[in-house]
A and B are shown apart, each in its own frame.
Chain A
Amino acid sequence: MMAFPDIAPAAAELWMAIGAMALLVYGVLRGDGSTRAVVWMAVATLLFAAWLVWSHAEFAAVTFSGLYIADRFGAFAKILVLVGSALTLILALDYLEREKLERPEFPVLVVTACLGMMVMISASDLLSLYVGLELQSLSLYVLAAFQRDSVKSTESGLKYFVLGALASGILLYGASLVYGVTGVTGFSAIATALGGQERSVGILFGLAFVAAGLAFKVAAVPFHMWTPDVYEGAPTPVTAFFSLAPKVAALALFIRVMTGPFGGIGDDWVGIISLLSALSMLLGSFAAIGQRNIKRLMAYSSIGHVGYALMGLAANSTGGVRGILVYLAIYFGMNLGAWGVILSMRRADGKLVEDINDLAGLARERPLMAAAMAVFMFSLAGIPPLAGFFAKFYVFFAAIDAGLYLLAMIGVLATVVGSYYYLRIIKIMYFDEPAPGFVPLNGTTGVVVAAAAVFTLLFFLFPAPLVGEAGLAAVALFP
């Protein structure tokens, strides 16, 4: 007989699971009219879960017979995911009501997606990795197709589903190869098994397939094909959600898998990651130049940013992981703000502006909104002293420390090219002939955007808490 497992380290996950079910019951009983209430309750659920994670952050524990690991690294990523998702939900509320999408399942699916991300982040076994990934992906597929009367949204959901299922298959195939060679699925057990034996072809194939599956989930080139179409078709708040929380979760999982079970064979995967990183940075900057739709542009921008973050993983060091975590936190802040502005850019007739040229003259109509957008765009481009510069600074530093000079150079070049399309948006907003009729930000969105702008602007004054926490989290991964 086995003793009942210690469930205390997974308190936040349990809370999220129970919360999702309770919200679902409430939403179903009260009908579509209760959406606003369910959204706010979902925000409270997410924030309370973040607090639970926060209060347990110091205690590292492995439970559920080695399937689940709680550590500082996981806590950092989880808090980022939970707080970010809560803020995205707040931004989404207004849009849902305007587009007649107010159904209580929306916040419930966001909560279950977050639960899946938490399972992913805390995975310490190939099995829990896969289950978490599926829970997350399945919720995201449904969210992408949520606007089911729109052909674009359905197409986006279907495309995401088919390609996502393919990626899951590739990942599973790699996992089965790893299991076949080592005979175990636990991360630490795999690391032990790989330490003692000679590197076989099976393990290299397994590693490559697992990396390809994960690269799809983070949308790194050459596994990025789905991103622009899915981002363009999905309802805008869902796109905002896609570009934030799932990226963090998948990157955290990527880091954990590469440094954990495959930590001992770093020489074999650093090349793979470097290539993914370099290609993503280049494609992210060059392909975005021709885009006219702001959602597609943000999709390419997110591909590029994943490339920069992966540079930290290619460094395969504590400094590199710290760099990624700082990068993700800052990316979160500036991207959230940018999406807040995009979600509010609409004309008086209620139509959402998606074409970049329609932004012309925003600065004259809505100076504060344009100023906030300019801050986010400058920051995304990586111009000092805004937060985005520091994000890049830490990963570039780690890459140079690890001797990846070529990769760092490609990164710098890509940044220069990428600046062009970020600056073009600013140019259109400030210097083009105005097209009047922009609606002001609504209250809650305004608060979120303002908070994100302040964070982005003033990060350089107080970088220590965030960088310190990220450092502690990174140390937890490299014992």
Chain B
Amino acid sequence: MLIQFIAFYVFAAVCVGSALMVIAARNPVHSVLFLILTFFNAAGIFVLAGAEFLAMTLVIVYVGAVAVLFLFVVMMLDINFVRLRQGFMQYLPIGATVGALLLVELLLVIGIVVDSPDAGGLGGAPMPPVERQSNTHALGALLYTRYMYLFQAAGMVLLVAMIGAIVLTYRVRTGVRKQSIAAQVGRHRADAVEMKKVATGTGVTL
């Protein structure tokens, strides 16, 4: 129990601290690295809460794909972040208002949960106890049976997204010098090398 307790506070503290650094760091690359650290610690908290599937998804999807994509964008695009940050503080009032609103809403949600503590069990498919079934199994058992229709439809949505990305960005470029492996492999010695008999003292004409 004590170890869990300590682990939670370590994860939570690092999570909040690195989240702060994401917006405080001067160098955007450092920001992204701190973001990755935040994700890892949030994943740790998920594991503690018994939601190992969410933890793994967070690491694989957010760290593996999203954060790395950010890193690429930050490093490849030539954005002047110093100029971007000028006048940043003038948005503080509106940002603080939005933040306060969100905080109040969060408190309201927590209030509702406290109000009806067994609301979690009312869902269509309550979570089985972790000792009996891991939640990866539980999610899979639902996703591929009861929600199969949605699973397939979501697959179609992703297919459309892919087609769309290709349709809108892919251009056939002319004059590209592509490597033709078949032609390279299929080349004969006779095509490439020419043997010349050289008479002494005359040289060769090429």
Contact = CB atoms under 8 A, between A and B. Distances in A.
Interface of A: 2, 5, 10, 17, 20-21, 24, 64-65, 67-68, 103, 105, 108-109, 112, 115-116, 119, 127-128, 131-132, 134-135, 138-139, 141-142, 145-146, 148, 157, 180, 183-185
B149 A21 contact: no
Contact of B167 (A115, A146, A180): A146
Most B CB contacts (10 A, CB to CB) among A5, A132, A142, A146 go to A142
Interface residues of B, number: 24
A138 B150 contact: no
A64 B163 contact: no
B168 interface: yes
Contact of A112 (B119, B122, B159): B159
B187 interface: no
The 5 closest A-B pairs by CB, nearest first: A142-B164, A64-B149, A2-B145, A65-B146, A131-B153
Summarize B's interface: helix, strand, loop or mixed: helix
5 contacts: A21-B159, A128-B149, A135-B156, A142-B163, A180-B112
Nearest to B124: A184
A135 B119 contact: no
Given A64-B149, A135-B153, A138-B157, A105 B119 contact: no
Contacts of B20: none
A180 to B, nearest CB: 8
A134 B119 contact: no
A131 B146 contact: no
Nearest to A186: B124
Interface of B: 112, 119, 122-124, 145-150, 152-154, 156-157, 159-161, 163-164, 166-168
A17 B148 CA distance: 15
B124 A17 contact: no
B85 to A, nearest CB: 24
A139 B150 contact: no
Given A2-B146, A112-B160, A142-B163, 10 more contacts: A2-B145, A10-B149, A67-B147, A105-B163, A108-B163, A119-B153, A131-B150, A131-B154, A131-B157, A139-B160
A341 to B, nearest CB: 28
B156 A128 contact: no
A128 B153 contact: yes
B146 A109 contact: no
Given A21-B159, A134-B157, A128 B152 contact: no
Nearest to A17: B156
B123 A138 contact: no
A109 B153 contact: no
A180 B122 CA distance: 11
Nearest to A127: B150
